[in-house]
Structure 1
């Protein structure tokens, strides 16, 4: 076999390998892009569920605190802003996240108002709505973590070599993260209604800030509703100076 034929075979083999690699990278980009879109749809379903729960929640609280008009109006406005940001063409994830943060804050104010009315303990509709809202917030948080993980994987490939060449050739761009204050978003509706229901607080609804000297900036969950007492530093006992030992005076020797 001549040298030219060998070179031609090698070139063809390299082209085939390159073509297979390009196809594989392209298909992987398509798969990751679809996974990001699917994970976002899961978040969107839970956000819509939250929007649907809010009107019933407001009407239920109004029955006990009809004069809290400013709180109700702020929740309604924040809900409208969040829906507008969700439906706006070309709205970025940052715009949507800001609208959702605002809505979470107003919901926190609504539940704070509800805590001031013990008669709510007889309203099972309100308690059921509170549980559904808390579960919805948990699913939003879980979906957000799943979505951001997929976005991170896609963006890493877009910026990495040699996959970045395929991304530029076929128009695969970076996706936006959906950033929320996770603790604030969930805790906005995690009000403690143990005084209303007559039952002890659950471990999922009790949080405390780390004690001095502990690590971590997020609240720590207290299991089984037990909050350990704060440990006070003990002072070193005062050390009393040693008292000099008293001896009887020495008698001079007597002469014989």
Structure 2
């Protein structure tokens, strides 16, 4: 009789330990997923900042180089595509296209010395460079956070908890092809 009670207590304690471990792992995965979402929102904030800077930049360039309509239209189209993208992969592709069109825009401005000397243009150029640096940092932070999260949901024993809890692998924010891996050059 006494051994039956001891066995029951041991079984209950083991169940409580397993349940406690499951809860701790589940909560850890929830925190990791929330860190990924926070890191993604930091990228989104910087992309929106860049999105907001571009109309001012385009208008400034338009005043000096109005006949460069095709380049300006490509920048605006790429800007809109960036804001309409929803997944990390789609945002990365759209962001890469925007970086490429911005390079074209800055190449066009080389032909306009008055534009390069314009204080408003220089300020916008500096803000855009700062924003590109922040985007690069936010991408790195996001990818580090996603890698940590993906490792957690794929390693034993958390992979069991992740499968039961519906935790899914997250996408990395890929910089894309080699030609768009750098921030647009905005120095004149």
When the two structures are superposed, what TM-score results if normalisation uses the length of structure 2?
0.93
Distance in 2 (alpha carbons) for counterparts of 1:73 and 1:160: 48
Q: What does 1:240-251 correspond to in 2, within 5 Å?
A: none
What's the offset of the Cα at 1:29?
Answer: 0.8
CA-to-partner distance for each residue in 1:108-150, whole Å, 9 max, x for gaps? 0001111221112431000000000000000001011111111
Contact 1:60 1:125 in 2 (8 A): yes
Distance in 2 (alpha carbons) for counterparts of 1:122 and 1:96: 33
**Pick from 128, 136, 159: which aligns with 1:164?**
159
Matched, 1:192 2:187: yes
CA-to-partner distance for each residue in 1:196-250, whole Å, 9 max, x for gaps? xxxxxxxxxxxxxxxxxxxxxxxxxxxxxxxxxxxxxxxxxxxxxxxxxxxxxxx
What's the offset of the Cα at 1:185?
Answer: 4.9
Number of equivalences? 187
Matched, 1:109 2:104: yes
Match of 2:47 in 1: 47
Distance in 2 (alpha carbons) for counterparts of 1:113 and 1:155: 42
Distance in 1 (alpha carbons) for counterparts of 2:135 and 2:179: 12
What's the offset of the Cα at 1:4?
Answer: 2.1
Matched, 1:93 2:88: yes
**Pick from 137, 140, 147: which aligns with 1:142?**
137
Contact 1:93 1:177 in 2 (8 A): yes
Contact 1:78 1:102 in 2 (8 A): yes
What's the offset of the Cα at 1:183?
Answer: 7.9
Matched, 1:14 2:10: no
What's the offset of the Cα at 1:191?
Answer: 3.0
Matched, 1:56 2:51: no
Contact 1:144 1:178 in 2 (8 A): yes
Distance 1:49 1:175, change over 3 A: same
Contact 1:93 1:178 in 2 (8 A): yes
Match of 1:216 in 2: none
Contact 2:110 2:116 in 1 (8 A): no
**Pick from 173, 178, 187: which aligns with 1:178?**
173
Contact 2:25 2:158 in 1 (8 A): yes
**Gap runs ≥5 in structure 2:** none
Match of 2:120 in 1: 125
Contact 2:146 2:171 in 1 (8 A): yes
CA-to-partner distance for each residue in 1:63-106, whole Å, 9 max, x for gaps? 22111111111111111211221xxxxx3211111111111100
